[in-house]
């Protein structure tokens, strides 16, 4: 199955990144979100990110122009009717995702593939809420999508080989490298990464080190390109908390208990970069630790 047009549901940091790389790879994209404003803001981010790639000579002006023309805003789910594959990249919340699948399934062609970019939720369980478990799959891009090389591909229990192969071919066309993961909570990357981030937050919570000390320690002591608290802000603290909750509930092991400080930050609306405040405050000229 040749995928020529994709639909992306959710124009946030992951959705606009997926639309960005697909359009540059010559695929038509319909970008959907809950409001015209969110779609506009996603399109503006893509425009800005492509301009940055242009200034670094990673793409040409012609590439940018052509790619931007391939992306159209899709204010209604009905606008996704002619897509070969639709990928859901909305908020990491099972109920939100299930509602989206219920509204989009009746619109799609029977042979269209439905994918999710979930960071942690069971692909099999999400698939079972749709009319097409055989044509449902997890395609887990990394953030930021235009920069990160990896995609995890996750089959649900019913995913057909044809769905898997078409998704694999799509990822290859987007220039990504694939790691196949089994359908267990948080798959591979986040099963390993998020408990490390959660532990960094406990380290802050227990006063073992300051925000700066923890991030410096892991950058210079473990050779990580960025500190775990900076990375948490980058991922989004709401997403980090959701992944920890899925691990905690899904594996029923207390070692995955979300740090109460992470819960508190999310309750405060301090979600990291996207809300201008998390472990760092981004409202000034340069980020400074919040506390
Ligand atoms: N942030 C990361 O590092 C990362 C990495 C890989 C995967 N993911 C996953 O990607 C998904 C999106 O994460 P994000 O970081 O882009 O979040 P985000 O908060 O930046 O964007 C989510 C978008 O979904 C939209 N949305 C919410 N409900 C919707 C609905 N009913 N219909 C259409 N759109 C709706 C929101 O308006 C928002 O624009 C999540 O499942 C997350 O776990 C995130």
Tens digit of each residue's pLDDT (9 = 90 or more) over 26-60: 999 999 999 999 999 999 999 999 999 999 999 99
Answer yes or no: do 11 and 39 share one domain: yes
At which of 154, 181, 208 does a domain end? 181
Which CATH number does the domain housing residue 168 bear?
A: 3.40.50.720
State phi, psi for 16 to the nearest 5 degrees. -70, -30
Answer yes or no: do 246 and 210 share one domain: yes
Annotated active-site residue 36? The verdict is: no
Answer yes or no: do 154 and 221 share one domain: no
Atom 8 of ligand 1 has which residue's CA nearest to it? Answer: 119
Answer yes or no: do 19 and 100 share one domain: yes
Q: Does ligand 1 lie within 6 Å of residue 235's CB atom?
A: yes
**11 labeled binding residue:** yes
Q: What is the pLDDT of residue 291?
A: 85
Measured from the CA of 236, which atom of ligand 1 is nearest? 1
Atom 40 of ligand 1 has which residue's CA nearest to it? Answer: 92
Measured in Å, residue 86 CA sits from the centre of ligand 1 at 14
At which of 134, 153, 181 does a domain end? 181
Answer yes or no: do 50 and 146 share one domain: yes
Q: What is the pLDDT of residue 248?
A: 97
At which of 162, 181, 200 does a domain end? 181
Q: What is the pLDDT of residue 288?
A: 97
Q: Which segments in the chain show pLDDT lower than 50?
A: none
Answer yes or no: do 161 and 202 share one domain: no
Structural domain tally of the chain?
Answer: 2
Q: What is the pLDDT of residue 144?
A: 95
Q: Which of 7, 10, 103, 231 to mutate to test the pocket of ligand 1 (most atoms within 8 A of CB)?
A: 10
Q: Rounded CA gap, 144 and 13, in Å?
A: 8
Q: What is the per-residue pLDDT across 94-103, written as a single tens digit (0 to 9) for each? A: 999 999 999 9
Q: What is the pLDDT of residue 208?
A: 98
Provide the domain limits for residue 17.
5-181
State phi, psi for 17 to the nearest 5 degrees. -65, -40
Which CATH number does the domain housing residue 232 bear?
A: 1.10.1040.10
State phi, psi for 139 to the nearest 5 degrees. -120, 100
Answer yes or no: do 200 and 174 share one domain: no
């Amino acid at each position: 199955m040749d995928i020529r047009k994709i639909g992306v549901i959710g124009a946030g940091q992951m959705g606009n990144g997926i639309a960005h790389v697909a359009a540059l790879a010559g695929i038509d994209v319909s970008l959907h979100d809950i409001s015209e404003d969110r779609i506009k803001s996603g399109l503006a981010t893509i425009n800005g990110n492509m301009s940055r790639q242009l200034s670094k000579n990673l793409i040409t002006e012609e590439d940018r122009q052509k790619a931007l023309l391939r992306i159209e805003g899709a204010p209604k789910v009905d606008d996704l009717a002619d897509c070969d594959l639709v990928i859901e990249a909305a908020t990491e919340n099972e109920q939100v995702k299930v509602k989206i699948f219920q509204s989009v399934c009746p619109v799609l062609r029977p042979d269209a593939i439905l994918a999710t970019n979930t960071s942690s939720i069971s692909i099999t369980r999400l698939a079972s809420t749709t009319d097409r478990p055989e044509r449902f799959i997890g395609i887990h891009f990394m953030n930021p999508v235009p920069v990160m090389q990896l995609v995890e591909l996750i089959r649900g229990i019913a995913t057909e080989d044809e769905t898997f192969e078409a998704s694999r071919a799509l990822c290859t066309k987007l220039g990504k490298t694939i790691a196949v993961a089994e359908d267990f909570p948080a798959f591979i990357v986040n099963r390993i990464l998020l408990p490390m981030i959660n532990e960094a937050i406990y380290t802050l919570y227990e006063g073992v080190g300051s925000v700066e000390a923890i991030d410096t320690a892991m950058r210079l002591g473990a050779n990580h390109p960025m500190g775990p608290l900076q990375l948490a802000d980058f991922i989004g603290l709401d997403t980090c908390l959701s992944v920890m909750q899925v691990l905690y509930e899904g594996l029923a092991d207390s070692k995955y208990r979300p740090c109460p400080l992470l819960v508190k930050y999310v309750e405060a609306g301090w979600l990291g970069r996207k809300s201008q405040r998390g472990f760092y405050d981004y409202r000034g000229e340069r980020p400074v630790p919040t506390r």
